[in-house]
A and B are shown apart, each in its own frame.
Chain A
Amino acid sequence: MKKNNSNEKKVIGKPFRKVDARAKCTGQTKFADDIVLPRMLFCKMLRSPMPHALIKRIDISKALKLPGVVAVLTGRDLPIPYGILPVSEDEHALCIDKVRFIGDPVAAIAAVDEDTAFDAMDLIEVEYERLDSIASIEDALRPDASRIHEYGDGGNVHKKVSLEFGDIEAGFADADLVREDVFFYEGNTHLPLEQHSAVAILDPDDKLTLWSSTQTPHYVHRALAKVLEMPATHIRVIATPNGGGFGGKSDPFNHEIVVAKLAMVTGRPVKITLTREEVFYCHRGRHPVLMWVKTGAKKDGAITAMHFRSFLDGGAYGSYGVASTFYTGALQTVTYEVPRYKFEGLRVFTNKPPCGPKRGHGTPQPRFALEAQIDKIAEELGLDPVEMRRQHLVKPNTITANYLRVGSIGLGECIDKIVAASDWKNQYRKLPYGKGVGFACSSYICGAGLPIYWNNMPHSGVQLRLDRQGGVCVMCGSIDIGQGSDSILAYIVAEVLGIDPFDIRVITADTDLTPVDLGSYSSRVTLMTGHAALQAAERARELLAKAAAEKLDVPTECISFSDRRVFDVEDAERGMTFAEAVQLAESKFGTIGTVGSYTPPRSPGKYKGAGVGPSPAYSYSAAVAEVDVDPETGIVIVERVWIAHDIGQSINPALVMGQVEGGVYMGLGEVLMEEMAYRGNRNVVHKFPSMLEYKSPTTLEMCDVKTILVEDPDPNGPFGAKEVGQGPLLPVPPAVVNAIYDAVGVRIDEVPATPEKVLAALRAKAQGKDGRFGPKSVPDVEWPEPIRVPTPAEGGDGKELPRVAVHS
């Protein structure tokens, strides 16, 4: 009898359909707004027309008298503050005394239909006392600026950080070239096609259920318990499939809390679905970041030291902003060797919709600055920009200067393959005027090493139930936002148990039914839920193998699982169906259920601020952009992007390809056109709260994408898998601006690189001035004394040096 090759993967690495593909292609996926319940009320929120004002008086009496209005809430009904990060719980579901941006909600109405709720909004009287509004980073730093919040690091500075790893001055002294450059990356937004929506109901047993289009049901659950002052055990949060997230549905939102409260007050189901305009006010998108980078390099391009400063325009609330601030300084060290590194960052509050995490969270901005500057360094040193990068890559199994532990790094292979595929050597500096190619690399985390609130519990849990019919049910708190996380669970369990992924029932994102997973953010889901699923499946497999081995009278390790059968690996005909194996196991052990969980390894960094940046693994990408720049109009057309991505191991290559292409698309939108722009008095009225005016790439702007998958399995990934949801966005903006330089010889040090900016730089160049568009300087601020951490090379242990007491 033929021996079965048990190492051959049947599911992993294969292009299976997603488990929800049929539902999505037949319109049967139930998104939050598709939920309709008997007696359901509709909610609208009245939003502030003022960017910054005190609420002097609010009168809801007329609205309450409108027939069809069932309840009206104001801020006093929900007095407890909340926020995604425990260090910045600065939001109220409805503003109480003060509004902080145009769109901040002040009242909420529940009515029998949406039209009545709309009408009732006109009947609420609000008297505001206008305050000075803060429109920009510079504005926020003015000593006389009125304060938006009463907490933070002084004035309108929300957070100010300073970290120093090694003696950077010695590094600069040792350099042959030191460059200082200033960059700006404009804010932009997620623009998911699905507007946020939530439905709440008071259950017959007096418990509360909330369905919501959220990427983080666990955090919403915690926020509801806090604000509603209810035991968490009486609240059930079900995340509905997200019609696009990209980070924009990762905060607990005011509308979720409001409909929950309205359901409790009215005893009826209450739904809210935001308008597109309101989605722009929810925002939590990419922070506008102003950056100053000083880098020292040897003649061969080796970096001797880097000093990076970032200034983030945070908008009106904290959101993930403290994490975002640290992220703008965290991942500079994981691509090229940076032996000494200093980071100073600050985030300010302004009277604009709050910024938060968008695909790449805080890292596309510094990556843009870093890769654009490296291009300039290579030119000044007379080196090929690709070869220079290639020579100085971080080595596998390294601890960087800022104590990030890099395991596998497939970046060298990414570079080599993309250079060959794109014919880089025959393109770069060899194309006619107007055409150009540009190169950039990047890296991203595969899940954050630390949870958002401090605890020692797993980041992801999976529960498996096997029934005697052979049915397998996998339960996990993770939420599918389109990336395919439900399918990843099914693929991994199917691989381990030798069954078909479509035999498996997947139940996810229901706080009553599924073990906690922290949520779909930080590119953590495949790695973390993957490990938890793998562990649960292996435990189930062990039970089945024991029972089958007893029956077949062979050692347990001789039992193999494949093609819905459980059999003797030496003689595949000696065996049974998978269902029969479950029956044997159930007879022997009782009902078969197992659990698995995953906690990331501890980070080597022990200093204050070491919590942001560590990850079990890092993905890598390299990209070449081919552009066509019209010197008459400044219009940049990106013809093609070549991208190589180090995925570790594809769990499903078709889905990996889709994530790469989607990431390239989003990076293209950011570099060419997308921006959260403001106008009006003091520049705080959103200019484009519509999809027509907020430009994003259609099929006519989207470029051709040539993707190369590099598989360098990481020991910390399930089957070696790393992330792909966010990393491939990162190299696109810098590759495009570097290509613009190759095409027409101007540096666009600001994103988006709109035609106006390209033309301005071309005109300046024609007049003999600096052929560059970008910010000229950064604000002069007083930075705190840095937290000093000796690097690993200096014998550091990851801890900061004791602060020297300063005597005045």
Chain B
Amino acid sequence: MTRTKSQKALIRFTLNGEPSEVAFAPHKTLLEVLREDLGLTGTKHGCELGECGTCTVLIDGQPILSCLFLGLDAEDREVTTIEGMAEGGKLHPLQDTFADLGAAQCGYCTPGFLLVAKELLEKNPSPSRNEIQEALAGNLCRCTGYIKIYEAVELAAARMRGEEVEPPRESIYGFEV
């Protein structure tokens, strides 16, 4: 019944823009490798069954569920986690608008949402509300009702397009009668 302790595997890949290498038990998921072997705990887990989207990271720019992705398969790929989203000390516009609008309440699902939204805006700089909903449909949030998240994505999209815009008054003070 004792488990044969397999030798660690070593992979090389690009992590948040930096060439990296890591050794880990070969059965581990990318989620586990990031959190346990690399100490990058910004990537969260909500189910470890591919159901909630919380553990989303970007591989070669595409969102994937790191709980369903073998660490070994990250070899030679570009992995972006929440830790790699800000540029130096400067937040990504999505991080700024999520912070400004309160789109992160408990903050646990936030890294996953931010990375999916980042990829969305890279391929579609002016998404409609429906397109945002479609893109984020694989990520669950239990706090916000998603509304502040949509608004934050829309505001960041506008700013990234170079528009000087402030959040709509209604999203902060409510509908005025």
Q: Which residues of B contact A26 (CB under 8 A)?
A: 42, 82-83, 85-86, 91, 95
A29 to chain B, nearest CB (A): 5
Which of A27, A661, A691 is close to B41, meaning CB atoms less than 8 Å apart? Answer: A27
The answer to whether A241 and B106 have CB atoms under 8 Å apart is: yes
| Minimum CB distance partner of B46 in chain A | A193
Q: Which residues of A contact B45 (CB under 8 A)?
A: 33, 195
B166 to chain A, nearest CB (A): 11
A663 to B146, CA, bound (A): 11
A190 to B140, CA, bound (A): 13
| Residues 697-744 of A at the B interface (beta carbon under 8 Å) | 698-700, 702, 705-709
Q: Is B174 an interface residue (CB 8 A)?
A: yes
Q: Which residues of B contact A15 (CB under 8 A)?
A: 100, 172
Q: Which residues of A contact B83 (CB under 8 A)?
A: 26-27
The answer to whether B47 and A276 have CB atoms under 8 Å apart is: yes
The answer to whether A691 and B47 have CB atoms under 8 Å apart is: yes
Q: Is B13 an interface residue (CB 8 A)?
A: no
Q: Which residues of B contact A658 (CB under 8 A)?
A: 102-103, 105, 143-144, 148
Q: Is B9 an interface residue (CB 8 A)?
A: no
A642 to B39, CA, bound (A): 44
The segment from A17-25, A76-84, A396-404 found at the interface with B is: A17-25
Q: Which residues of A contact B54 (CB under 8 A)?
A: 193
Q: Which residues of A contact B141 (CB under 8 A)?
A: 193
| Minimum CB distance partner of B115 in chain A | A27
| Residues 1-40 of A at the B interface (beta carbon under 8 Å) | 15, 17-18, 20-31, 33-34, 36
Q: Is A115 an interface residue (CB 8 A)?
A: yes
Q: Do A482 and B2 contact each other (CB < 8 Å), given the known contacts A36-B39, A244-B142, A696-B142?
A: no
A102 to B90, CA, bound (A): 49
Which of A66, A660, A666 is close to B1, meaning CB atoms less than 8 Å apart? Answer: A66
B150 to chain A, nearest CB (A): 8
A694 to chain B, nearest CB (A): 9
The answer to whether B142 and A30 have CB atoms under 8 Å apart is: no
The answer to whether A18 and B39 have CB atoms under 8 Å apart is: no
| Minimum CB distance partner of A647 in chain B | B174
A65 to chain B, nearest CB (A): 10
| Minimum CB distance partner of B47 in chain A | A276
Q: Do A654 and B102 contact each other (CB < 8 Å), given the known contacts A31-B108, A696-B142?
A: yes
Q: Is A491 an interface residue (CB 8 A)?
A: no
B22 to chain A, nearest CB (A): 16
A122 to B126, CA, bound (A): 53
Q: Is A692 an interface residue (CB 8 A)?
A: yes
A491 to chain B, nearest CB (A): 13
| Minimum CB distance partner of B82 in chain A | A27
Q: Is A61 an interface residue (CB 8 A)?
A: no
The proximity string for B residues 125-139 relative to A, scoring 1 for CB distances below 8 Å and 0 otherwise, is 000000011101111
The answer to whether B175 and A706 have CB atoms under 8 Å apart is: yes
The answer to whether A484 and B44 have CB atoms under 8 Å apart is: no
B138 to chain A, nearest CB (A): 8
Number of interface residues of B (CB under 8 A): 66
The proximity string for B residues 68-96 relative to A, scoring 1 for CB distances below 8 Å and 0 otherwise, is 00000000000001110110000100011
Interface size class of A (residues with CB under 8 A): 35 or more
Q: Is the interface of B mostly helix, strand, loop or mixed?
A: loop
Which of B3, B107, B176 is close to A24, meaning CB atoms less than 8 Å apart? Answer: B107
Q: Is B48 an interface residue (CB 8 A)?
A: yes
The answer to whether B39 and A655 have CB atoms under 8 Å apart is: no
The answer to whether A700 and B107 have CB atoms under 8 Å apart is: no
Which of A18, A34, A276, A657 is close to B49, meaning CB atoms less than 8 Å apart? Answer: A276
The answer to whether A243 and B106 have CB atoms under 8 Å apart is: yes
Q: Which residues of B contact A25 (CB under 8 A)?
A: 91, 95-96, 98-99, 104, 107, 110, 114
Q: Is B101 an interface residue (CB 8 A)?
A: yes
Which of A33, A36, A661 is close to B148, meaning CB atoms less than 8 Å apart? Answer: A661
A246 to chain B, nearest CB (A): 7
Task: Kindly name the residue among B101, B137, B143 whose own CB sees the greatest number of chain A CB atoms within 10 A.
Answer: B143
Q: Is B111 an interface residue (CB 8 A)?
A: yes
The answer to whether A653 and B172 have CB atoms under 8 Å apart is: yes
B148 to chain A, nearest CB (A): 5
Q: Is A172 an interface residue (CB 8 A)?
A: no
Q: Which residues of B contact A662 (CB under 8 A)?
A: 105, 142-145
The answer to whether A661 and B145 have CB atoms under 8 Å apart is: yes
10 A-B pairs whose Cβ atoms sit less than 8 Å apart in the complex: A25-B114, A28-B42, A116-B3, A123-B1, A193-B106, A194-B106, A244-B106, A653-B172, A655-B102, A705-B147
Shortest Cβ-Cβ A-B pairs, 6 listed = A27-B42, A482-B106, A24-B107, A665-B145, A243-B108, A27-B82
A residues near B (Cβ < 8 Å) are 15, 17-18, 20-31, 33-34, 36, 66-67, 115-116, 119, 122-123, 190-195, 241-246, 275-276, 417, 420-421, 481-484, 642, 653-655, 657-658, 660-666, 668, 690-692, 696, 698-700, 702, 705-709
Q: What 16 new A-B contacts, CB under 8 Å, besides A15-B100, A36-B36?
A: A22-B95, A24-B106, A26-B82, A27-B43, A27-B44, A116-B3, A123-B1, A241-B106, A244-B108, A246-B142, A275-B48, A421-B175, A421-B177, A654-B172, A658-B143, A708-B176
